[in-house]
Amino acid sequence: MPRDVRGLIDQSGASFLNQLSAAARLLCCRWWRELFARCVQLDYLGFVTSVHVRVDGFRDSECGECDDDVVCEEDGGEERHRVRKWPHGLRNCPGSCGLFRTKVAASTGHSVTMVDQSEEILQKACSSIEKSLKRIVKKTFPGDEEAGLKFVQDTMKNISTSIDAASVVHSSDLVVEAIVENLQIKQDVFATLDKFAPERAIFVSNTSSLPITNIANATTRQDRFGGLHFFNPVPMMPLVEVVQTPMTSQATFEALTDFAKALGKHPVACKDTPGFLVNRLLVPFLMEAIRLHERGHGSKEDIDTAMKLGANHPMGPFELLDYVGLDTSKYIMDGWHELEPNNPLFASSPLLDSLVEQGKFGRKTHEGFYKYN
C-alpha cells in the first residue's frame, strides 16, 4: 500500500482561520515567509493522513493494512535501525518549502495529495515539481533515459491534488506546520486544527526559532506534539532537527525520528531551546557579521569573501541573510530578544531594522544587502 501524503498552504492567517471554521478550506501562497505581522502569510501546513503510527494511546487500529516495523540497512549494512512503514502517507503543499517536501515525499514512495483553494496554483505546483524532477534525472540517471523517465513518472503518479481541506484534517494522523514565525498565529492555527483532527493525530511544527512548548500549549495533545525542522532546499539538505519538548512522549519522538528517516533524511535530536541546534549557532553568527560591518571593521563583500575562502562556507553571511530573508531574520532575532533581553547576542541591528523597514527583504524583493536582477 503506498504512503499517502497530503499537504496544504495558506496565504492569510486571519483568512485561514475564518475559512477553516466556516468551510474548512485553505488559501495558498507562492513563497515562504514573504511577509509577517500584519500581512501574515502562511507558507506550509501539511497533514499526514491515515498513517499507521505506533504511538501509545492513538494507534490507528482501523487501518488493518499496515505493515509491522521493518529493519532498514544504511551504509552497506554497517548501520541498522528500526524504521516504521507509513503505508498511506503524508501531505504537502505548493509553496516553496511545500513543493520541496512534496517532491521529497513522492520520490521516496509516498502518495502525496496537495490541497489548495486554487486549482490553478495546484497545477503550477505540479508543473514545477515535474520540471525539477527532470533536472534531477539528468544527473541521477546519466545515459539511461528510460530509467529517468520511469522515475519521473512514478514520482508524479504519487502526487494528486485536492481543494477539500476538511477531509484532510478529519482523517489525519500527522499534522506538520511551517507557517510564518509568529507565535500567536501558530497557536491560533493549531488550536483550530485541534478541534478538527482526530485524537490520535500527532502535531508537528517546522518552526525555526519559536519554542515548541509554547505552540503546543494551545492544544490538548502536548504529548503528541513535537518539532521537525527541515532545512532549505529540502531535497538537497539531509538534516532534520527532531525537537522533543518536556511533554512530548518518547513514542511520539521515536515516530517522528522514523518519519524523517523514511524521507531519506538524517535526524538529530534536539531539546526545545531557542533556535534548537543549527539556528542557535547560525543566527548570532549572522548578526555578528552585520555588527562587524556596522562598526566599519569590514565591507559586506570582504566579510562574505573571508568566510567563503577562509572558513569554506558556501555562502557568505550577507549572501545567506539575503537568501533566508531579512524580514525572517529580524523576526527571529526580535523573538529571541523578547525571551532573553539581556543577552547581547540577541541585540537588534539598526542596519537590519532599516532595510526591513524599507521593504528590502533580500532575494525575494530583489534587494537586501545586495541588489538582484
Residues with active-site annotation = 208, 229, 241, 279
Do residues 3 and 90 make contact, with C-beta atoms less than 8 angstroms apart?
A: yes
Q: How many CB atoms lie within 10 A of CB 247?
A: 17
C-alpha cell at 236: 538537497
Please name which of 16, 152, 182 lies closest in space to residue 93, comparing C-alpha atoms: 16
Q: From start to end of the chain, where are the E strands?
A: 3-8, 45-49, 70-74, 79-83, 91-92, 110-115, 159-162, 172-177, 202-205, 225-230, 239-244, 266-271
Residue whose C-alpha is closest to residue 121's, from 89, 85, 96 = 96
CA angle 160, 165, 170 (to 5 degrees): 110
CA distances to 320, 334, 367 from 284, rounded to whole Å, are 13, 12, 22
* Residue type at position 345: L
Classify residue 114 as exposed, middle or buried by CB count within 10 Å of its CB (0-12, 13-18, 19+). buried
